[in-house]
Amino acid sequence: MPITEILERNCKLYGDEVCLVEVNPEIKDNRRVTWKEYELIESNSPSYYRREITWNVFNEKANRFANLLIQRGIKKGDKVAILLMNCLEWLPIYFGILKTGALAVPLNFRYSADEIKYCVELAEADVLVFGPEFIGRVEEIADEILTNRLLFYVGERTPLYAEDYLAQTMNCSSQSPMIRLTDDDDAAIYFSSGTTGFPKAILHNHTSLMHSCKVEQNHHSTRKEDVFLCIPPLYHTGAKMHWFGSFLEGGKAVLLKGTSPEVILRTASEEKCTIVWLLVPWAQDILDALDRGDLQLENYELAQWRLMHIGAQPVPPSLIKRWMEYFPNHQYDTNYGLSESIGPGCVHLGVENVHKVGAIGKAGYGWQTKIVDEHRNEVAKGEVGELAVFGPGVMTCYYRDPQATADVMDEEGWLYTGDMAQEDEDGFIFLVDRKKDVIISGGENLYPVQIEDFIREYNAVKDVAVIGLPDKRLGEIAAAIIEIKEGFECTEEDVEKFCMKLPRYKRPKKIIFADIPRNPTGKIEKPKLRKMYCGESLVAAQNRG
């Protein structure tokens, strides 16, 4: 079943019920809200901004945009890029694209002008839909990308080089365009994180999207009455595919702009959220604010909040232990996935396995896993190897890049993730590190995630990243970049003393106190750290020589 049919079903069954809420505590609305279906609701705070739409309106907006695209010559197989911050328009635009049979191409909001141009051209996008935050970047490349492309602008004061999305869709039919779709039809192109250069274009079909709906609903027993709080950016599979569980059940979701601890708890309280997906830094910030007394749980209504889950990166066991001290009634889950495996869920811990915190879990609903050596032969339990996954959510290919596809997929359809992992005696998988992040020091393999998890146990540490730095004698040494909690003090000697509990070869040889850069999905930007510190290390090594 193509995923667009779920929207049509929800419209028929729950048409007048609210399905999406947009909350932005940081701005007061000054945008046009001319469609009567929008509702602007202000709380007691003069800066609290909120909009909501029903399933009927969601479907109507998707249909209007689909019909506009068709009027402008967009047909099945064409591509439409989306460059928007999270907003109430985002998902109706996404589904409007799918209803035409075209492919949705979400773009990272952090892309530079050059990266936007690169991705639009790589995906062969015929249309770019963008918001006010991107006017400057799009203007830089408008002359280069306008040839044979349409640009639609979502916001006030439309630039001269683009068309007004709202004005154009207002005059289009709200009826479904009735384009026939199949499960095998291409549906979307997502982009990899681009940690090794420009990102790769990842092609998925409707089977992939539908499977992610089923996986999320199955893993978290999502019910119609659940309210999902979505904070991460919708361009990323990890946000949208978690929302897909609510979408499949016809439940409500809240799109929150803002990641401060107070904003998250207040929104969960006021919107009666039952499922909240957090990134590690946000969960850490909430705990730190509670530890300092900046927040008091009794000021919020959180009894309905039943599930907290984390994905996109390894989760420190120490963080979940602290979380359970403040929220003992929460279910907890962690999810593992890649954009190449349609985001979250190809491996998950399961709410019943909190005793295994630290593991990413077992094969998810409808998925298979294996751990292999460099020849892609399975390794014995307990041995470290590369994690591979197989299931209906594996990408079709890297778009227009057959060699890159062949590098990570075999003829049977197994996807080789590049993540090093090991399986314990109970069948639970533990991430060891990214294949490219493994540090080889004096012939020993060091896995940074293991060292990071250990250092995070130190009570003064807010965040930590371990990278390899060049060393003349050992080849590489482990360096720990450490971010200290507000109000705490810590010295190199303190860290070195704490690390004495580690085997000697695993102890960091260099300690650096600095902020830890993370991308919008919470992953540590290790290439950036290596660029910052490896040059310094090379100079030092040359001087020693």
pLDDT confidence of residue 530 = 83
Name the region of 91 (left: φ>0; alpha: ψ -120 to 50; beta: rest). Answer: alpha
Separation of alpha carbons 477 and 446, rounded Å? 9
Exposed, middle or buried: residue 176 (CB in 10 Å: 0-12, 13-18, 19+)? middle
- What's the distance, CA 52 to chain centroid? 23
Residue pair 106/85 in contact by the 8 Å Cβ criterion: no
Q: Measure the CA–CA gap between 243 and 223, rounded to whole angstroms.
A: 12
DSSP state string for 440-502: EETTEEE-HHHHHHHHTTSTTEEEEEEEEEEETTTEEEEEEEEEEPTT----HHHHHHHGGGS
* pLDDT, position 529: 87
Q: Which of 86, 131, 124 is nearest to 105 (CA)?
A: 124
DSSP 427: S
User: Which tokens sit at 176?
Assistant: 């479904």
Are the C-beta atoms of residues 221 and 14 closer than 8 Å to each other? no
Residue 271 in contact with residue 227, Cβ under 8 Å?
yes
User: Pairing between strand 429-434 and 444-446?
Assistant: unpaired
Helices 237-249, 90-99: crossing angle, 10 deg rounding: 80
User: What pLDDT, on a 0 to 100 scale, did the predictor assign at position 43?
Assistant: 38
CA angle 399, 411, 336 (to 5 degrees): 70
User: Given the DSSP bridges, would you call strands 127-130 and 163-164 parallel, antiparallel or unpaired?
Assistant: unpaired
Q: What is the pLDDT of residue 27?
A: 62
Residue 537's pLDDT is what? 42
Q: 357-390 burial, b if ≥16 CB within 10 A, otherwise e?
A: bbbbbbbbeebebbbeeeeeeebeeeebbbbbbb
Instruction: Read off the tokens for 137.
Output: 């970047």
With 0.85 as the threshold, say if the pTM is over it. no
Residue 267's closest CA among 224, 305, 240, 323?
Answer: 305
How far apart, in Å, are the Cα atoms of 37 and each of 40, 285, 340? Answer: 10, 36, 37
All structural domains of the chain, each given as residue ranges with its CATH number in brackets, are: 4-220 (3.40.50.12780), 438-544 (3.30.300.30)
Q: Which stretches in the chain have pLDDT values below 70?
A: 26-48, 193-197, 312-314, 442-443, 472-473, 520-521, 535-545
- CB hemisphere CA count around 210 (13 angstroms): 18
Contact, 238 vs 521, CB < 8 A? yes
| Contact yes or no for 441/478 (Cβ under 8 A) | yes
Could you tell me the maximum CA-CA distance found in the chain, to the nearest angstrom? Answer: 74
- Number of neighbouring beta carbons within 10 Å of residue 459: 12
How large is the angle between the packed helices 135-145 and 113-122, nearest 10 degrees?
A: 50
Helix, strand or coil, per DSSP, at residue 32: coil
First to last CA, the chain: 65
Q: Give the angle subtended at the CA of 164 by the CAs of 163 and 169, to the nearest 5°.
A: 110
Contact 423, 444 (CB under 8 A): no
Q: Supply the pLDDT for residue 48.
A: 62
- Determine contact, residues 511/301, Cβ cutoff 8 Å: no
